[in-house]
Amino acid sequence: FDAKNQDHVDFVYHTTCIFADTFGLTKGGYPDEKEVLKLAATTETAEWTPKKENVDDPEGGGEQKGATMVSSDDYEEIENMRKEIQKLDVDKLVKLFPAEFEKDDDTNHHVDWITIASNLRGWTRNLKPSTKQHCRMIAGRIIAAIATATASITGLVFMEVYKQILAVENIDDYRWSTINLAVNTYVIELPCDPKCHRSGKMVTEEVQDDEVVEVKKILTCIPDKFTCYDFIDFKDGKDLKISEFIERFAKQEGGLKINFLSRKSNNKGVPMYQEINVAMYQNKKKFSERMLQRMKNPTQKKILQQSIDTANAMLEQATSYDNMTVFEAYTKAYGPLEDPNREFLVLDADVTPTDRELEDGEEIEIPAIKYYFR
């Protein structure tokens, strides 16, 4: 905030006046601009820093991603917000006074605020500022849209939000809505059933050697027809070593051995655990060390040394897995939890059966694991 910048001053003042109207504080007139400016100049604000996020732009040549997956952090944040709202005593809330938008009243600060807010936003993008009259004309054109489509959609959305706040559990009490005001069509229906993961044979296309080939796969879902709302709950009351967790999970789930673990996301990405064939890397290391002593060619010696380094790295990784708990492996791979009070992790796992061999092209899918570490 720069008290010498008139745009900054206007934005703060007009915003203050609109809030004063909303809280019923303008019976004796609007606050004095100099007093508002004085308070604004002495108010400390945190310095804004942009978030470091990679945003894909399909129109700009980036790859378009699929539907965004709601993570366990999102679910927990929604639950915490719902609890906070349920604690509110509405009788103790300050009474609010709604105001109807009026573009032709120059005393209500409505068009003044729209003008300065638009110009400040335009300034961040190096756009030409607009006049008050120009903003008044545009605002007049969109009132009809706000009073019809926007109002209808907002009302329908918040009908569902109220159900969330009231913790309505029955999915049949929720609705999907589709409206088309041009032809006066309103369709309100029950949500469709979630996608089921089903066992069966399938044919997929994969790129191999720059050619698209058909690959036959056998998908075994355990249990069959599970959905994204199903979880495998693993509750032990404490954080286990990775090896202990894998052993107890196999006993709980009828012999399914975990060989890959990652956090629940759209793609598996960086693993927090993956099974390592220790015996294979030990033999590979011994063989490379023996050959290194015999070789005289510098290039071959370099290749063998790289092989030894790779084997050492994998053996060190295997040792670290033996010493880490599940929670430690999770935070090492993905960083600290957003909510330090969380009691569980949501994990994706690749598993193999211990009582039989997998068929050619067979894959096993299981629901996400809710691992309670407290």
pLDDT beyond 90 at 156: yes
Condensed to tens digits (0 to 9), the pLDDT of residues 288-306 reads 888 888 888 888 889 888 9
Query: What integer pLDDT is reported at residue 157 of this predicted model?
Result: 94
Under the banding of pLDDT at 50, 70 and 90, the label for residue 5 is confident
Query: What integer pLDDT is reported at residue 32 of this predicted model?
Result: 87
Query: What integer pLDDT is reported at residue 189 of this predicted model?
Result: 92
pLDDT beyond 70 at 360: yes
Under the banding of pLDDT at 50, 70 and 90, the label for residue 317 is confident
Structure tokens at 145: 């849209």
Rounded mean pLDDT of 332-350? 86
Query: What integer pLDDT is reported at residue 64 of this predicted model?
Result: 47
Query: What integer pLDDT is reported at residue 343 of this predicted model?
Result: 85
Alpha-carbon distance 130 to 121, whole Å?
11
Rounded mean pLDDT of 165-169? 86
pLDDT beyond 70 at 54: no
Rounded mean pLDDT of 279-287? 90
Distance of CA 300 to the CA centre of its chain: 47
Rounded mean pLDDT of 156-160? 93
Under the banding of pLDDT at 50, 70 and 90, the label for residue 268 is low
Query: What integer pLDDT is reported at residue 222 of this predicted model?
Result: 92
Query: What integer pLDDT is reported at residue 63 of this predicted model?
Result: 47
Query: What integer pLDDT is reported at residue 249 of this predicted model?
Result: 92
Rounded mean pLDDT of 258-282? 83
The long-range contacts involving 235-241, CB below 8 angstroms and separated by at least 24 positions, are: 235/372, 236/372, 237/372, 237/374, 238/373, 238/374, 239/325, 239/326, 239/327, 239/328, 239/373, 239/374, 240/325, 240/326, 240/373, 241/322, 241/323, 241/324, 241/325, 241/326
0.85 exceeded by the pTM? no
- Ranges 205-209, 247-251, 273-277, 369-373: which has the least confidence: 205-209
Rounded mean pLDDT of 8-29? 90
